[in-house]
Amino acid sequence: MGNAWAFLWELVQHRHLLLMILVLGLGGNLLIGFQVSAIAYPSQDIKRFLNASWVRRHRAPLAPETLTLLWSSIVSIYCLGGFLGGLWSGTLIPRHGK
């Protein structure tokens, strides 16, 4: 029973740390959700633009599978760019400024 009380006392002492971990763990994921929704909202407009550009260049519409592949590539590259930007921001800011 003594170990249980000691464990609970440790938790009470570090409640601010535990709260911060909880907030960052759950709330930190909202940013990528916002970014994905920000690119998903104009998806129909972007798909129409891709198809119109393809028709203008090749005189034939895109196949639905090809359009889906292009769209999924755009979304993937968007997320990859955010990931790489987050990794490199620490070295780029001192060199180039904000």
Number of H helices, E strands in the chain: 5, 0
The verdict on residue 34 lying in a domain is: no
Mean pLDDT of 5-31: 69
The verdict on residue 50 lying in a domain is: yes
Amino acid identity, residue 61? P
Tell me, yes or no, whether 21 and 68 share the same domain. Answer: no
Please provide the average confidence, as pLDDT, over all residues in the chain: 79
User: pTM for the full model?
Assistant: 0.52
Whether residue 19 is predicted with pLDDT greater than 90 in this model: the reply is no
pLDDT on residue 41: 79
Task: Round to whole Å and give the CA distance between 53 and 44.
Answer: 14
Tell me, yes or no, whether 64 and 18 share the same domain. Answer: no
Instruction: Determine how many CB atoms are found less than 10 A away from the CB of residue 71.
Output: 16
The verdict on residue 3 lying in a domain is: yes
> 47-50 long-range CB contacts below 8 Å, 24 or more apart?
47/71
| Number of structural domains the chain divides into | 2
> Domain range spanning residue 25?
1-29
The verdict on residue 36 lying in a domain is: no
The verdict on residue 37 lying in a domain is: no
Whether residue 57 is predicted with pLDDT greater than 90 in this model: the reply is yes
